[in-house]
Structure 1
Amino acid sequence: MSTTERRTGVAVRGLIRRQYFWGIIAIVLLLLVNVVKDPAFLAVSVNSLNGNLVGNLVDILRASAPILMIAVGMSLVVATGGIDLSVGSLMVVAGAVSMEFIKASGDGASGGVALGALGLALAVSALLGVVNGLLVSVVGLQPFISTLVMMLAGRGLAKVITSGQNTAAANEPFRWIANGYVIGLPVVVLLAVVVVVIVALVVRRSALGLMIEAIGINPKASRMAGIKPRGLLITVYTLSAVLAGIAGVFATASVMTVDVSRTGYQLELDAILAVVIGGTSLAGGKFSLGGAVVGALLIATLDKTIVFLGVSSSATPAFKAAVIIVLCLLQSERVRGLFRQRRVPDARVPGAEAPRASVTV
């Protein structure tokens, strides 16, 4: 075997060992299922009127943008050994603040109003994220409890802001955030990519990512090494909240309406699933932003497949759970180890053929 072939084999085995590899395989399989039903499912065309790209793949990318935002924030929180159950509620708070601001302004064409609504939504989200961080790092509450409280309080706050009513508003610049196009591509997708790249550069090109992982591995040892977990925890929960606020703006601007009961509903579960699929350990200590991207794309593809196949709403949770369970089993080293043991005979069993030296177990 040549050196090139050996290196290729090592690279392939290394890729297979990465948990998000099976997420990519699941995406491909789901797309193939859709193609079987409709051979034109993957077709992407150019709208002759405006030159924008249209197609099911574009729809999947657009739908993955809000999930991607909260999944990236969740990855960083989970890496510290915590969890953020409030991201769905923070989405609806951001949507409620922005819609009420635009409605009160009465200006449906002002870019300044759109920027004001965006800034106010992110500021309120950041403030609630700081509260989460303080509850975890200063008060000492368990992340599960503190963010569960914020999950309940956030949706209640959104109902107070909107007086319990779904709020609709009109502002074309704000609507453009979720429905506009640049060079034929959806703005919401481009914004999501830019945000992920910025976050990745900050946490991977600086010591921030290592310090976050150090807190998740051993908080006491990291403190003795000079890392101040209190400030980092507040920063991570604030960043998660801001990203949830961006996701809320994406979800609200697409229809220019905030539904205080449905906007962001149970998306915290999708974010956790995306994080787990991407290979971030719920025990803390490591995270993968690339894996979070794969997980978000998988969740969006799965949702699209459910609708495309016409799965009934009553069976949707079971269908979704079945796909996720199969994927998690494929990711499990223990499960894959059982299959490897079956393929290679045990040399200790009488009559069994001894494994060859070239076989890798």
Structure 2
Amino acid sequence: MTDRRKADASGAFADLFRKQIFIPIAALLLLTVFNLAVDPSFFKVTLGTNSAGNPVLTGYLMTILDYGSEVAILAIGMTLVTAASGGQDISVGAAVAIAGSVILRVLVGLGGDGALKAPIIVGFLAACLVAMFFGAFNGVLVAIFKIQPMVATLILYTAGRSIAAWINNNELPIVTDKTFTYFGGFIPGIPVPTPFFLAVVCVIITMLVLKFTNLGLYTQAVGINASSSRLNGLNPTFIKWLSFVILGLCVAVVALIKTSRLSTINYSVIAKDIEMDAILAVALGGNVLSGGRFNIMASILGAYVIQFLTTTLYKFNVSSDALPAYKAVVVIVLVVISAPAVKEKLSGLGKRLTKQREVA
């Protein structure tokens, strides 16, 4: 009976290993155990007050929820782009700068006193339109002109921040209205960071779309084999283009959060390297980077794990300049683990161990 239970446990573990969600869960457990061993106070959450006198929860976990939500929102769109096109969009950081600049231009204009000249929703909708336009531009290059995604998005990656500065005539407009700070901070009376709720809304909308439409099925089909999907009546060009447009919407939400945090913008710094975190979240989620099968929830979990890692490194006083090096190591490990040859060998090893236990 005991041997049977051991065999069942081994089989369950082998099944879990084959699932996409295994890698982010394993990384999360590893980081959790490390922080518990080194400094358990890492998980301490306290209720305090912010500068406005409102109750807020503080602690490293709240930081992870707060800033990890930005990456999670981008990971939604990046996952669809990766699944459909077999490549990644490296221009999202620059696109966030453009969308954020549009928000500020609409809300306070040039040379204003910082007072709102338009409702916040209008500024956000304008940012959505602009971000979707640039997403559509990237989508045209990839879907119609067949340019490799990283190469196609390199154009906006290079020029995006200059475009953002041009939109506001290289000025740094400041929004003085306090309600604008709620989107990147806290809503009075709610101690949990607002970006977390925005991420939850984005996730719910995405899951509903995937559940009640065929977008997920079509995206996977196009990513696996575009030619076969075309023969089955799909339009691979449109599916790839649409994935970049959806990523544009995600960019607009992150731009609202980013500009709300400081009520202004720094064109050269805002969302710097966030595209790398979004891509890493997709990889950490076990998604196939060459396109095809994907798991949105695994990517979202991967986004919070990436922020978990970043926060842990900051806690141990790792320089921000050194962070990319640590993340590069994570990328190498993920790429190796995700390699078909490695997966096949690990799966074979698991089967052999299971058989040996059954014989014993």
TM-score normalised by the shorter chain: which range applies? 0.7 to 0.9
> Which residue number in structure 2 is paired with residue 60 of structure 1?
64
1:86 correspondence with 2:87: no
The 5-angstrom pairing of residues 31-70 of structure 1 reads: 31-47=32-48, 50-70=54-74
CA contact (8 A) 1:108 1:172 kept: no
* Deviation for aligned residue 1:150: 2.2
What's the TM-score, normalizing by structure 2? 0.86
Matched to 2:109, the amino acid is A
Q: Which moved more, 1:246-255 or 1:165-174?
A: 165-174
> Which residue number in structure 1 is paired with residue 162 of structure 2?
156
2:184 aligns to what SS in structure 1?
helix
| Residue 124 (structure 2) aligned to one of 112, 118, 124 | 118
2:358 aligns to what SS in structure 1?
coil
Q: Structure 1: which 5+ residue stretches go unaligned? A: 347-354
Percent identity between the two aligned chains: 32
In 1, the alpha carbon distance for the partners of 2:277 and 2:48 equals: 32
The 5-angstrom pairing of residues 13-24 of structure 1 reads: 13-24=14-25
What's the TM-score, normalizing by structure 1? 0.86
| Residue 217 (structure 2) aligned to one of 195, 210, 225 | 210
CA contact (8 A) 1:165 1:260 kept: no
**1:317–1:237: structure 2 CA closer, same or farther, 3 Å change rule?**
closer
| Residue 76 (structure 1) aligned to one of 76, 80, 96 | 80
* Deviation for aligned residue 1:11: 4.1
Question: Residues 224-255 of structure 1, C-alpha deviation per residue, up to 9 Å, x if partnerless?
Answer: 10101222222111001110121122122111
> Which residue number in structure 2 is paired with residue 235 of structure 1?
242
1:298 correspondence with 2:302: no
> Which residue number in structure 1 is paired with residue 327 of structure 2?
320
2:153 aligns to what SS in structure 1?
helix
> Which residue number in structure 2 is paired with residue 103 of structure 1?
108
Q: Structure 2: which 5+ residue stretches go unaligned? A: none
**1:50–1:4: structure 2 CA closer, same or farther, 3 Å change rule?**
farther
> Which residue number in structure 2 is paired with residue 273 of structure 1?
280
1:179 aligns to what SS in structure 2?
coil
**1:358–1:262: structure 2 CA closer, same or farther, 3 Å change rule?**
same
What is the total number of aligned residue pairs between the two structures? 352
In 1, the alpha carbon distance for the partners of 2:169 and 2:38 equals: 45
CA contact (8 A) 1:53 1:184 kept: yes
**1:359–1:62: structure 2 CA closer, same or farther, 3 Å change rule?**
farther
User: RMSD of the TM alignment (CA)?
Assistant: 3.0
* Deviation for aligned residue 1:210: 0.6
CA contact (8 A) 2:258 2:270 kept: yes
Question: Residues 329-349 of structure 1, C-alpha deviation per residue, up to 9 Å, x if partnerless?
Answer: 455564466568789999xxx
CA contact (8 A) 1:108 1:171 kept: yes
CA contact (8 A) 1:86 1:148 kept: yes
**1:212–1:330: structure 2 CA closer, same or farther, 3 Å change rule?**
closer
In 2, the alpha carbon distance for the partners of 1:208 and 1:26 equals: 29
CA contact (8 A) 2:83 2:293 kept: yes
Matched to 1:63, the amino acid is Y
The 5-angstrom pairing of residues 332-351 of structure 1 reads: 334-335=341-342
* Deviation for aligned residue 1:219: 0.9
**1:26–1:206: structure 2 CA closer, same or farther, 3 Å change rule?**
same
